[in-house]
Amino acid sequence: MSIRKKHLKNIKRIVVKVGSSTLTHESGLMNINQIEKLVRQISDLHNQGMEVVLVTSGAVAAGVGRLGLKSKPKTIPEKQAAAAVGQGILMHMYEKIFSEYGKVAAQILITKDDMSHRTRFLNARNTFFALFEQGVIPIVNENDAIIVDEIKFGDNDTLSAIVSSLIEADLLILLSDIEGLYDSNPRTNPNAVLIHEVEEITEEIEKCAGGAGTSLGTGGMATKISAARIATTAGVSMVIVNGANNNIIRDVVNEEEVGTFFAPNEHPLQLRKHWLTFNTEINGKVVIDDGAVKALVEEHKSLLPKGVLSVEGFFHQGQIVSIVNTEGIEIGRGITNYDSLEIEQIKSLKTDEIESKLGYKNYDEIVHCNNMVRF
């Protein structure tokens, strides 16, 4: 049995990501026929009892068409204006076609900032599960009308991978304008060979995707490999296929040898630790000694004050800190039980000395092992 068939046997929850290149014509206007085919395939999966989430681009393109612009806007305010106009048009189009197949769709707009806050992350998760219970198909997009670079995912490949981990999906399907991952750039090398299955994302696999500045690298295959790392680390299978091919989603679910399949990790990160690894913003650093490195990495223990050498940055209790060794290499990150000023006072102390130093002791640990991920 192939790796693909092994992992696609009993899938129940699927995330489908579609990009602007699949949804629009070369003119920049919406490809109605392509959208209709996409909705039909998703509706058919839903009829089979599967829970499906659609992560879609296209808001800016829809806005450009409605506003009659001759080219895609270049400034952030212009893009946000086009997205504000286009998001409603895009949703109306999806709702209209989904309703023809008897389906109810719901719009969810997400920013990176939403996913980095634990409470909002869990609220979003609860919203998805409530929609699944009602038989609704969530349609997700980044909130392009209000976001700036600081809170952007940057691409919907990454967004779809984060959503896949959020809802603990079985499969992520990336609909692209290329057949899958090749061993070299097929647009410049006619002898490039399609890679059908990837068991592990190695440095060699990353090189196949191309670096920044190549035709495949910027906003292309490199972001898809990054998405694959996020998804597979959460235990989600992923496949890259050409979205223009007829019935391509059905072919993937039917275990056909299409595109490039990425196998999920055999030992995926728990949801909380996956969130710590991929969704959080670092608020400061805690530098630890060699003894603490060994205790954390080899013995999977909590971080105690005794192993702390210094603190960098200003942060509050409950925020995310990076844990680094004396050479500045990050060995983990976690949720801190003390703020930076408190840690500065209790560093290098034994746990039974914390109260005498601070006048109180809320925790023995600076970062508990259950609230930590190690690299």
Looking at residue 149, its pLDDT comes to 54
Strand-strand pairing, 308-312 and 320-324: unpaired
Same-domain pairing of 159 and 11? yes
pLDDT digits 0-9 by tens, 7-27: 888 899 999 999 887 888 777
CATH number at 307 reads 2.30.130.10
Same-domain pairing of 7 and 145? yes
Separation CA 333–CA 340 (nearest Å):
15
Same-domain pairing of 174 and 237? yes
Same-domain pairing of 186 and 306? no
Same-domain pairing of 323 and 346? yes
Same-domain pairing of 244 and 297? no
Q: Residue 196, Cα to own-chain centre: how many angstroms?
A: 22
Residue positions forming the annotated binding site for ATP: 17, 176-177, 218-224
**Among the three residues 206, 239, 274, which one is the final residue of a domain in this structure?**
274
Q: Take residue 261 and report the two structure tokens written for it.
A: 């399949």
Q: What is the mean pLDDT of the chain?
A: 88
Q: Take residue 321 and report the two structure tokens written for it.
A: 């800190």
Coil/strand/helix, residue 76:
helix
Residue positions forming the annotated binding site: 17, 57, 144, 156, 176-177, 218-224
Confidence (pTM): 0.83
Separation CA 173–CA 176 (nearest Å):
9
Amino acid at 298: E
Check the CA dihedral 250-251-254-259 and report its sign: negative
Check the CA dihedral 375-205-238-106 and report its sign: positive
Q: Take residue 290 and report the two structure tokens written for it.
A: 């060699």
Same-domain pairing of 205 and 300? no
The whole domain housing 297 covers 282-374
Same-domain pairing of 327 and 265? no
**Among the three residues 274, 302, 324, which one is the final residue of a domain in this structure?**
274
Same-domain pairing of 263 and 287? no
Domain count, the chain: 2
pLDDT digits 0-9 by tens, 72-90: 787 888 888 888 888 888 9
Same-domain pairing of 250 and 308? no
Same-domain pairing of 106 and 205? yes
Region of 8 (left: φ > 0; alpha: ψ -120 to 50; beta: rest) is: alpha
Residue positions forming the annotated binding site for substrate: 57, 144, 156
158 vs 57, 64, 110, 227, CA distance in Å?
12, 24, 12, 5
pLDDT digits 0-9 by tens, 168-208: 999 999 998 888 998 877 777 888 889 999 988 888 888 77
**Among the three residues 274, 304, 339, which one is the final residue of a domain in this structure?**
274
Q: What is the mean pLDDT of residues 247-268?
A: 91
